[in-house]
Amino acid sequence: MSARTLPLLPMLVLATALAEALGLVTARALSVLVAEAEVEPGSTAANLLPLLGVLGGVLEGAMLGVAQGLVLARHGYTKVSSFALASALGMGVAWTLVLLLAALEPAVATSPGLDLLVAMLAGAGLGGILGLLQRRVLTPAPARFALHSALGWCAGLVATLFVEQFVPTAASDGYSFAASAVGGALTGAIVGLVVGGAFPRYVRAR
């Protein structure tokens, strides 16, 4: 069949925005469960609570992978199951590294500049890990897919940080969940736009 323009980019932006909104709301729900859990400090349950962060990351990655995979599979780039598995694994690895670094880093006073730097580095690291794993299940794989992924998540997490500035410390659960949804949608739209830019504008219909 002849090559024709397909709306991969806007579909990928929409899919990623919806997946990230749902993913961050899920992560927020897990954080509320952790905050309200009545466990004794030093107990086995208390030591296992941080693993819920990894679980949240895996769930977020699975949602992201299914949403993006449905779009990419429609254009013949991957299988939904393979892309979802790669995405869930990537998010799980990234969140595990975050927990390890959080346990090792010394306590330092936060500042807007430091928060921005952390968001950029975390986004680039997360995007790089995701991009490398996702690229392995793309056929054909765009040459600069991992780079686009790193840049997209770097910009996306900065956007999330921006949204969080408007969430009061003592905000209600409803307000916090709404902010997570908005921040996730904004992050996802940015990620989808940048990652989608890695794919050629003209693709062969399959």
What are the domain boundaries of the chain?
Answer: 9-200
**Per-residue model confidence (pLDDT) at position 112:** 77
**Per-residue model confidence (pLDDT) at position 37:** 66
162-206 pLDDT, tens per residue?
887 777 665 677 778 888 899 999 999 999 999 999 998 645 445
pTM: 0.85
Please answer whether residues 65 and 84 qualify as being in contact, where contact means their C-beta atoms are separated by less than 8 angstroms: yes
- The two tokens of residue 29 are 């729900």
Question: How does 129-160 read in b/e, with b if 16+ C-beta sit within 10 Å?
Answer: bbbebbbebbeeebeebbbbbbbbbbbbbbbb
**Per-residue model confidence (pLDDT) at position 114:** 82
**Per-residue model confidence (pLDDT) at position 99:** 78
Neighbours of 106 (CB within 10 A): 4
Distance from C-alpha of 65 to C-alpha of 127, rounded to nearest angstrom: 13
* 14-18, 78-82, 98-102, 158-162, range with the lowest pLDDT: 98-102
112-153 pLDDT, tens per residue?
788 888 889 999 999 999 999 999 999 999 989 999 999 999
Distance from C-alpha of 87 to C-alpha of 166, rounded to nearest angstrom: 29
Closest CA relative to residue 149, chosen from 130, 176, 173, 174: 130
Strands (E), the chain: 4-5, 202-203
Please enumerate in sequence order all residues whose Cβ is within 8 A of that of 151, keeping only pairs 6 or more positions apart, or say none.
124, 127, 194
Please answer whether residues 187 and 158 qualify as being in contact, where contact means their C-beta atoms are separated by less than 8 angstroms: no
Please answer whether residues 24 and 184 qualify as being in contact, where contact means their C-beta atoms are separated by less than 8 angstroms: yes
Quick one: pLDDT band at residue 4, thresholds 50, 70, 90?
very low
Please answer whether residues 149 and 129 qualify as being in contact, where contact means their C-beta atoms are separated by less than 8 angstroms: no
Q: Is 5 helix (H, G, I), strand (E, B) or coil?
A: strand
- The two tokens of residue 187 are 């992050």
5-61 pLDDT, tens per residue?
458 999 999 999 999 999 888 888 877 776 666 666 666 656 666 777 788 889 999
Question: Is the per-residue pLDDT at 2 higher than 50?
Answer: no
Distance from C-alpha of 74 to C-alpha of 199, rounded to nearest angstrom: 14
Site of tokens 């030093």: 42
